[in-house]
Amino acid sequence: MKTVSFFGEGVTEALHLIVTGDPVVFTIALRSIYVSGIATLLASLWSIPVGVHLGLGGFRGVNFLRNLFSSLIGMPTVVLGLIMYLLLTPKGPLGPLNLIYTPLGISLAQSLLITPIIITFTASSIESVENDIRELAITLGASKFKSAITVLKEGINGVILSIVSGFNRAIAELGLALIIGGNIMVENSGLNTRVLTTAINMYTVRGEFNIAIALGIILLLIVLIINALTNTFRREKL
């Protein structure tokens, strides 16, 4: 009973923080959306063309590459975090870029984390588009490039799903954000790197459950709203 009451109080206070628009809660939430949004945008830039190419197939090594990317989906984030840390740390090869402990640094690391997800899901959705669609486009005079774009349009629902899955994975990720970002929060500073997951982790450890629950609810809401919007868009397309 005690646990239920404890959790109930936490939720009530969390809802109060959300409804009253608590600036700390909302700043962290907005930063999370920004950081993971940039990561998704970056990853989409290279992952969608690669995914389309793999989905269309027809070249040597396609199966090897597809297996490789689908295996990389399961890569432990702490391992990727460690690699990225060693690359971005001031003494590392990418040190001069000054990306360690910055929001952009987290975005970059998250973009690499979700690259295999977007590539694999895009390739599957393109592959599931009927094979004849590409030939049909070509026989109607389309160039190879234009026919690939047509296949992409036909499989757009799957591609959107892959992007959303990538975003969901990025925004829910803790290890990378902690290692690369450092959960920094200094008032009136542009260098803050605290995001929802690192904040939830920190407030939980501190025993400040109300704010941790509030941030957890917001994280869930972001994911649910984005999925709902995506599903609405996909239904309209059909």
Partner 1 sequence: MTFIELNNITKKFDFFKALKSISLEIEKDKLLGLIGHNGSGKTTLLRILATLSVPSQGEYLYKGEKIGNLYQLKDQTTLVFQKAKMFNRSVKKNISYGLRTKNLPKSKIEKGVEEGLELIKMQDQAEKNAKKISGGEKQRVALARAFATNPELLLLDEPTSNIDPGNAKIIEDAIKKISDEKDTTVILATHTLFQTKRLSDRTAHLYDGKIVEEGKTEKVFENPKNEKTKKFISGKLIT
The one among 15, 18, 136, 202 contacting partner 1 by CB under 8 A: 136
| CB of 138 vs partner 1, minimal distance in Å | 5
> Could you say which of 73, 133, 172, 226 contacts partner 1 (CB under 8 A)?
133
Using rule CB under 8 A, residue 172 touches partner 1? no
**CA atoms in the 13 A half-sphere facing the CB of 62:** 14
* 142 interacts with partner 1 by CB under 8 A: yes
Site membership for partner 1, residue 154 (CB under 8 A) = yes
CA 123, distance to chain mean position in Å, is 18
Q: How many residues bind partner 1 (CB under 8 A)?
A: 19
CA distance 213 to 171: 16
DSSP output for 162-195: HHHHHHHHHHT--HHIIIIITT---TT-TT----
- Judged by CB under 8 A, which of 93, 144, 191, 229 binds partner 1? 144
Mutual angle of helices 196-206 and 209-237, in 10-degree steps? 150
236 binds partner 1 (CB under 8 A): no
128 is a site residue for partner 1 (CB under 8 A): no
Q: Is 137 in the site for partner 1 (CB under 8 A)?
A: yes
CA distances to 56, 121, 128 from 62, rounded to whole Å, are 9, 15, 16
- Tell me how far, at minimum, the Cβ of 130 lies from partner 1, in Å: 6
Contact segment (CB under 8 A) with partner 1 among 49-57, 78-86, 126-134, 212-220 equals: 126-134
Looking at the Cβ atoms of 105 and 155, the one nearer to partner 1 is: 155
The reply to whether 130 sits near partner 1 by the rule CB under 8 A is yes
Considering only 16-24, 69-77, 146-154, 198-206, which stretch makes contact with partner 1 by CB under 8 A?
A: 146-154
- Of the candidates 191, 190, 168, the one whose C-alpha atom is nearest the C-alpha of residue 181 is 191
Q: Which of 193, 218, 52 is nearest to 133 (CA)?
A: 52
Give the binding range for partner 1 (CB under 8 A) out of 85-93, 142-150, 160-168, 192-200: 142-150
By CB under 8 A, residue 233 contacts partner 1: no
Q: At a CB cut-off of 8 Å and minimum separation 6, what does 124 contact?
A: 55, 158
Output Rg (C-alpha) for the chain, integer angstroms: 21
Per DSSP, the chain holds a count of helices (H) and strands (E) of 11, 0
Interface residues with partner 1 (CB under 8 A) are: 130, 132-133, 135-144, 146, 150, 153-154, 237-238
